[in-house]
Structure 1
Amino acid sequence: MELDELYEYCSTLLYVDSGFPFDKNLLTFQIGGKIFAMIALHYWEQGDRNIILKCPPNLAIELREQYEDITYGYTMNKKHWNTVYMRGDFSPTQIKEWIDLSYDLVYDTFTRKELLNLPKKKL
């Protein structure tokens, strides 16, 4: 997937905001201030295209063992985050499934009341 496709897909998910809370190079996607995906733009521009995604610990280990282009989440809790390098033979469907999983892990931490208070996106 290309950067614009990743951005578009992540941005279409309910309650998602994107921004640069840390520096001008690290694009984050978050729900209510909780990050579920990150893209280091300076690495992307250098050809080291990757996305960092939240993942359940057991699955995170399994994916790292199964794919050489998935490693621990750089600068993140290595137990809960994976870096997915786009040089692998990952289909857009696989990438979207992993994004959805990451999104769901964060989404599920909110109570119904908290979700009701999050700004809704305009369609």
Structure 2
Amino acid sequence: MDQKSVHKYLQDRPATFITQPFAQDVDVYKVQHKMFATLSEGKEGQVNESGEPIWWLNLKCDPDEALVLREQYPSIVPGYHMNKRLWNTIILDGSVPEIEIIRMINTSYDIVVDNLPTAQKEALRKMTQS
């Protein structure tokens, strides 16, 4: 998945909105004012075969799963500028299958939604049923 398709998928999660509290080049994706993802240009000058920048995606993760994913994929590393136990950074260099990225995005979103107060979860549920 490239930056554009990841952005579209993140943006399409129910009740998601985007802010840029850190910098203009860092999109922060939130649901009910809780962050579940960030997307930014890689900080190490990485480029793909076409010379375009490689993007980094930060996602929340179960701590045990985070470790397994890091072992399985070299381009999944501890969360850049995040709690390394609870966040992974996925370097979007094409080495992680799209289906796995989608699964990780959904997991991150669900972790945040599952931890919302009951009233906010109910409101979100109503919004998605409409």
Q: TM-score, normalised by structure 2?
A: 0.82
What secondary structure is seen at the aligned counterpart in 2 of 1:114? helix
Which residue in 2 is equivalent to 1:27?
27
**Offset, 1:120:** 4.1
Instruction: Please name the residue that 1:100 is paired with.
Output: 106
Return the letter of the residue paired with 1:37: A
Taking the aligned partners of 2:92 and 2:100, their CA distance within structure 1 comes to 11
- 1:48 aligns to what? 54
* Whole-angstrom CA distance in 1 between matches of 2:99 and 2:20: 26
Residue in structure 2 matching 1:63, options 49, 61, 69:
69
Deviation at 1:92, TM superposition (A): 1.5
Match of 2:85 among 79, 83, 91: 79
Q: What is the Cα-based RMSD across aligned positions, in Å?
A: 2.4
Note the residue ranges of structure 2 that are not aligned, 5 or more in a row.
Answer: none
Please name the residue that 2:18 is paired with: 18
Structure 1 position 41, deviation (Å): 3.5
Structure 1: which 5+ runs fail to align? none
TM-score computed with the length of structure 1 as normaliser: 0.86
Identify which of 91, 115, 121 aligns with 1:109: 115
Aligned pairs, number? 122
Structure 1 residue 111, shift from structure 2 partner: 2.7
CA 1:116–1:24 in structure 2 vs 1: closer, same or farther (change >3 Å)?
Answer: same
Distance 1:5 1:68 in 2: 21
Q: Secondary structure at the match of 1:97?
A: helix
Q: Aligned residues: percent identity?
A: 29
CA contact (8 A) 1:57 1:79 kept: yes
Give me the whole-angstrom Cα distance separating, in 1, the residues matched to 2:41 and 2:121.
Answer: 29
Q: Which 4+ stretches in 1 moved above 3 angstroms?
A: 41-46, 116-121
